[in-house]
């Protein structure tokens, strides 16, 4: 059975025009939504600024946060846990704060390559090549989603991914709840007979995977469809960490302020490193959504003007040229409009800037009316 297929579809000029006009609504909604995304993004709170004002308390002394009672505290100290964890499958019980099991299956994956050409008269011919490859996948594709199912059937993954935490851990003398706090991801566990219990159907490969072949003829170097490989990431106690949250007796619990900012998190490392990490995450997220907002605006603009190019496709050269010109024009206009939206959003989310603008407007009106009265006199 071949693992590559090509499907050719020809779309008439009339149906293309109809489809392009249908895309106007999608383009308008996308264009409109881009303003909402950009405005929302500029109003996001930099949680590191809140964390920087946390009351730092000693992990070895039971105290009360008297400076900002009921407010945010930061504790740095040694992370411990008296509980043990396993996945009740292959991983033996060990001193882990969290266990993340990743199960990959050797399975079929569909890849597509599409090329289109516009014909004289405005019709369009599209060629789609479907390629089927075998690779290790954590979330294998459903066979029903494939264009060509026959010979590319994926079995159901018999073992699923797992994330598990202890119910209690501590930083110094303060207790934390690993099931509710946001934990670091942990490190890849080196597998050996000391921490892994194998059965007759499983093998240990390279200290990284538990390999489960589906048939006797399969091997890790030459796997068969349906074979599984399992790896683990664990967070082990005994490291220096920093916790942010709310103090409640001898516990650190979830902190939520009056603006609904939420912080209950464990970091590996010092207080300052944790704050730097949060600020970096905020910066990356902010620029990511700025990019998303801009792309939404650009693609929305292109969809709104799409019918122009399709109408001109009756002569393919004219349609291609208009598409290039519209792409450049909408790119520049979307870029400028995104910058303006971002700057206005920054102002609208800044109460001090709004007050200053309001004061300037009031003084402007006063100045204008005074000059008007002088001219009348």
Report d(CA 34, CA 116) in Å as an integer. 28
- Counted domains in the chain: 2
Whether residue 5 is contained in a domain is answered as no
Residue 351's pLDDT band (cuts 50, 70, 90):
low
Whether residue 127 is contained in a domain is answered as no
Shared-domain flag, residues 214 and 101: yes
Average pLDDT of span 336-343: 95
Contacts of 279-282 spanning 24+ positions with Cβ under 8 A: 279/46, 279/48, 282/44, 282/46, 282/47, 282/48
With tokens 């490190």, the residue in question is 187
Residue 200's pLDDT band (cuts 50, 70, 90):
confident
pTM of the full structure: 0.84
Task: Give all strands (DSSP E) within 119-189, no chain letters.
Answer: 124-137, 162-165, 169-171, 174-176, 187-188
Shared-domain flag, residues 207 and 299: no
Shared-domain flag, residues 144 and 196: yes
Buried b (16+ CB within 10 A) or exposed e, 116-155: eebeeebbbeeeeebebeeeeeeebeebeebeeeeebebe
With tokens 């569909």, the residue in question is 110
Single residue among 217, 235, 269 that ends a domain in this structure:
269
Shared-domain flag, residues 138 and 238: yes
pLDDT at 44: 92
pLDDT, the chain, mean: 90
Total residues belonging to the chain? 377
Shared-domain flag, residues 38 and 74: no
Q: Which of 121-135, 266-280, 329-343, 361-375 has the lowest mean pLDDT?
A: 361-375
Whether residue 65 is contained in a domain is answered as yes
Residue range 266-325, pLDDT digits in tens: 999 999 999 999 999 999 999 999 999 999 999 999 999 999 999 998 999 999 999 999
Taking only Cα atoms into account, the Rg of the chain, rounded to an integer number of angstroms, comes to 30
Whether residue 121 is contained in a domain is answered as no
Per-residue DSSP letters for 55-122?
EEEETTS-----TTTTSEEEEEEEEE-S--B--SSSBPPBS-SEEEEEEEEEEEEEEEEEEEEEPTTS
Bridge partner residues of 98 (DSSP): 165, 235
Residue 148's pLDDT band (cuts 50, 70, 90):
very high
Helices (H), the chain: 13-42, 47-51, 271-304, 306-312, 316-348, 351-376
Bridge partner residues of 367 (DSSP): none
Shared-domain flag, residues 90 and 214: yes
Average pLDDT of span 144-159: 92
Shared-domain flag, residues 78 and 150: yes
Q: Which residues contact 146 (CB under 8 A, 6 or more apart)?
A: 108, 110, 130, 132, 152
pLDDT over 70 percentage in the chain: 90
**What is each CA distance from 301 to 25, 304, 341, 367, in whole angstroms?**
11, 5, 15, 41
Shared-domain flag, residues 99 and 186: yes
Task: Specify whether the CB–CB gap between 213 and 223 falls below 8 A.
Answer: yes
Whether residue 353 is contained in a domain is answered as yes
Report d(CA 342, CA 52) in Å as an integer. 26
Residue range 40-65, pLDDT digits in tens: 999 999 999 999 999 999 988 887 65
pLDDT at 62: 81
Shared-domain flag, residues 141 and 90: yes
Whether residue 230 is contained in a domain is answered as yes
* Range(s) of the domain holding residue 349: 10-44+286-376
**What is each CA distance from 279 to 49, 145, 228, 286, in whole angstroms?**
8, 40, 39, 10
Whether residue 77 is contained in a domain is answered as yes
Whether residue 114 is contained in a domain is answered as no
Shared-domain flag, residues 15 and 144: no
Residue 99 neighbours by CB distance under 10 Å: 21
Single residue among 242, 269, 296 that ends a domain in this structure:
269
Shared-domain flag, residues 162 and 190: yes
Single residue among 208, 239, 269 that ends a domain in this structure:
269
Residue range 164-185, pLDDT digits in tens: 999 999 999 999 999 999 999 8
364, pLDDT greater than 70:
no
Report d(CA 206, CA 78) in Å as an integer. 32
Shared-domain flag, residues 245 and 341: no
Average pLDDT of span 191-208: 92
Residue 102 neighbours by CB distance under 10 Å: 15
Closest CA to 166 of 253, 78, 99: 99
């Amino acid at each position: 059975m071949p693992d590559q297929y090509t499907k050719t579809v020809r779309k008439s000029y009339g149906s293309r025009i109809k489809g392009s006009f249908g895309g106007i609504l999608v383009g308008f909604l996308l264009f409109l939504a881009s303003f909402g995304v950009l405005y929302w993004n500029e109003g996001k709170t930099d949680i590191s600024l809140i964390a920087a004002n946390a009351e730092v308390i000693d992990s070895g002394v039971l105290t009360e946060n008297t400076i900002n009672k009921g407010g945010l505290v930061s504790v740095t100290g040694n992370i411990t846990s008296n509980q043990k964890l396993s996945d009740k499958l292959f991983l033996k019980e060990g001193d882990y704060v969290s266990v993340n099991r990743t199960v990959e299956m050797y399975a079929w994956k569909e890849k597509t390559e599409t090329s289109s050409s516009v014909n004289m008269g405005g019709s369009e011919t599209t060629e789609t090549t479907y390629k089927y490859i075998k690779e290790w996948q954590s979330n294998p594709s459903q066979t029903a989603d494939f264009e060509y199912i026959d010979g590319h059937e994926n079995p159901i993954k018999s073992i699923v991914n797992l994330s598990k935490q202890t119910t209690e851990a501590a930083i110094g003398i303060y207790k934390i709840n690993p099931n509710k706090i946001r934990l670091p991801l942990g490190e890849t566990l080196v597998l050996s007979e000391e921490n892994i219990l194998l059965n007759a159907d499983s093998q240990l490969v390279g200290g990284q995977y538990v390999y489960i072949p589906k048939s006797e003829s399969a091997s890790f170097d030459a796997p068969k469809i349906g074979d599984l490989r399992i790896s683990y990431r664990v967070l082990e106690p005994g490291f220096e960490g920093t916790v942010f949250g709310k103090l409640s007796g001898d516990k650190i619990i979830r902190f939520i302020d009056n603006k609904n900012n939420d912080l209950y998190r464990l970091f590996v490392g010092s207080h300052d490193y944790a704050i730097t990490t949060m600020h970096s995450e905020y910066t990356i997220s902010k620029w990511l959504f700025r990019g998303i907002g801009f792309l939404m605006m650009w693609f929305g603009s292109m969809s709104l003007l799409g019918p122009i190019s399709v109408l001109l496709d009756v002569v393919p050269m004219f349609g291609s040229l208009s598409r290039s010109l519209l792409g450049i024009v909408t790119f520049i206009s979307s870029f400028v409009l995104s910058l303006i939206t971002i700057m206005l959003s920054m102002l609208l989310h800044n109460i001090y800037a709004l007050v200053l603008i309001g004061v300037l407007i009031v003084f402007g009106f006063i100045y204008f009316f005074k000059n008007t009265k002088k001219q009348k006199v």
